[in-house]
Chains A and B, each alone.
Chain A
Amino acid sequence: MIILVVLLLLGGGVYWLTRRRASRTGEPVARDDAAAAMAEAAKPMSPAGDPAQVVLSHLTKQYATVAAVDDLSFTVEPGRVTGFLGPNGAGKTTTLRMVLGLARPSAGTATIAGMRYDQLVRPIRHVGAVLEGSAAHPGRTGRDHLRVICRAGGVPLKRADEVLALVGLTEAGGRPFKSYSLGMRQRLGIAAALIGNPGVLILDEPANGLDPEGIRWLRDLLRGLADEGRTILVSSHLLAEVQALADDVVIIARGRLVARGTVRSVLDSLARPGRTLVRTLEPDRLTPELGEEAIVTPGPDGDMYVTGVDAAAIGDAAHRAGIAVHQLKTERPDLEEVFLELTTEEAGIR
């Protein structure tokens, strides 16, 4: 009988209790120093967020026969956009899921502000994430999806409307998720990531499904967030996008680190120097004039590519020999080429 009464009180009272707790704003904070320090640490953040490093140290995910991620170490710095690149199946998503505590590393650690994701107090206020395949219930409206996250994260429900406005979904907020286009779904995911105004943002292929206008919007958003001092880690296979957006890049293939550094330094680290496209009507006469260092390879439409000497030297040589040159163009390898070169070497036959 006692059990019955207790259960009745407990069960029936749960909802009422939770409502009552929630309606209370601001719990009294104890006056001692430790509590004050905690309160300080978890205080609502300034618009600049809570910048923090993301540190991966020997991170490894071993499945039965393959290592999806293999001894991966790198650091993502605050105030910068870090592009995370790799071919399909390179282990990008697995890496991000381990950073976010959704998958367990076989070895190594991933920390955000020095803590594992599941050790963060109210992670919603520190880290926002958009993951591939993350979705909402098809019958739930976008606004309700965000409100559920607010509720679970202890954030006032009004925040759902604020982030809807931020991603331009205010009008669609009342419609069920299943009616959303791919681009709207991505925007909703980004809205969810921004709920806690986090200092760290981790995005897996966020440009997927966005139209060119959406991609531009996303680029501006991420640039703005990084300029506010936030840490942004964004994986992508759209290399041109990353090149336009990122300050740093990390390239992996087969779960292993291939290259990392600033976009510039990764480009410069390439062993192959820039080449010069030369358009002339007399390539056969010009070639011996270029000297012994020059390496000439035929290009399209009778053009030629020259490496080993720079464009100025080619121009001088042509002038001395009295050969007309119609075009001289120095081509730097872009990130795409570097990427293809690095990852095919790594992924191919070694």
Chain B
Amino acid sequence: MIMVGSPALARDRHTRTNPLWQVQAEIMKIRTTRLGWLFLIGVVLVTAWALLRNGAAHHYALYPPLDRLPAAERADAVADAAHARTSAGRAAIAADMMTSGQSAGVLLAMLLGLLTVTNEYAHGTATATFLTNPKRGAVIVGKFAAAVAVGVLFWAVSTALNLVVTLIYIPSQHVNVGVLDWIPLRSVLLNLLAYAMWAVFGVGLGALVRSQVGAVVTGMVVYLGGAAAAVVLFNLIYLAYHHTWVLAASVIAPAVASLVMITPGRAFDHAPPQWSGLLIMIAYAALLGAVGVLRARRQDV
């Protein structure tokens, strides 16, 4: 009497669980709350703001208002302008414009990844999630994949906006550089990597900390304050043990590793090579991911 025929279930012929279902469900969860869309708008806003700021800064460097500068600064400004017009300088302008707003965008991707986990506990939806899929490791892996997909989307939106503006901006400044030359392209792709890594980092951190506020604060501190804290700490150690490898070792802080990873050449004096930043970011993502899966599997919901 209750269960009259279900046309929908009649079409359900799956004999096994498909791990992609969880990924789709996680993406749907992000789509169906306001937060996901607010974050996307946030990505657009920070990108637009950074484009304005970067565009103004590069214009000022290329065309310094010499008549309004004090005499003492004129020589420097002229030298800067000359440097900006070298081939390295032009490539740097293109790379900078093409990655506008992406350090903030990466932070948003990380926070969104984090919230995909902590939201489940904050709103009591973890129960429904784990009832539908009792394989908790698979749930967390689904969240990793969804967070990476959303991170990639954020990157794509930001990069598309940057591309359009940069294509107009570069000719307007009479600078001869290809927007998709290797150097700017490399920066764009390295930033893609950063979006993916930090999204995974966020999910892992969320699974580890669980408390919404605790995880968000930890994430922000690690991302925003982590680099400065690491630099101060490792410079203090350097004062005691005068070895330059101490400075290079600051790469073990995630924020420094990320900076090293996305900066072509050396990110700072005595910085370790770029690939070390990549390896350490992968290690963090893997470690936090594994710990997150383990924590989810062990603990009662």
Contacts and interface: CB of A to CB of B under 8 A. Distances in A.
Interface of A: 3-4, 7-8, 10-12, 14-15, 17-19, 21-22, 25-27, 29, 35, 38-39, 41-45, 47, 49, 97, 100-104, 117-118, 120-125, 127, 129, 131, 133-141, 144-145, 147-149, 151-159, 161-162, 166, 192, 196-197, 221, 224-225, 227-228
Given A7-B192, A22-B20, A225 B2 contact: yes
Interface string B1-27: 111111111111111111011111101
B2 A97 contact: no
B152 A166 contact: no
Contacts of A131: 127, 131
A8 B123 contact: no
A18 B127 contact: no
A152 B132 contact: yes
Nearest to A17: B20
A10 B16 CA distance: 24
3 smallest CB-CB distances across A and B, nearest first, come from A152-B25, A118-B134, A135-B124
A144 B28 contact: yes
A139 B278 CA distance: 37
B279 to A, nearest CB: 10
Contacts of B5: 47
Contact of B301 (A102, A124, A225): A102
Interface of B is mostly: helix
A11 B2 contact: no
A121 B145 contact: no
A43 B190 CA distance: 47
B123 A121 contact: no
A17 B33 CA distance: 23
Contacts of B156: 12
B112 interface: no
B104 to A, nearest CB: 20
B124 A18 contact: no
A141 B278 CA distance: 40
Contacts of B146: 14
Contact of A155 (B12, B189, B298): B12
Contacts of A44: 9-10, 12-13
Interface residues of B, number: 61
Interface in B51-93: none
Contact of B300 (A8, A102, A118, A166): A102
B132 A153 contact: yes
Given A152-B133, A162-B8, A140 B32 contact: yes
Given A22-B20, A118-B134, A155 B151 contact: no
Contacts of B29: 137, 140, 148
Given A11-B151, A103-B300, A121-B16, 16 more contacts: A4-B190, A4-B192, A12-B149, A27-B13, A47-B5, A102-B127, A135-B127, A136-B125, A148-B29, A151-B21, A152-B22, A152-B132, A157-B8, A158-B8, A161-B8, A224-B2
Contacts of A122: 14, 16-17
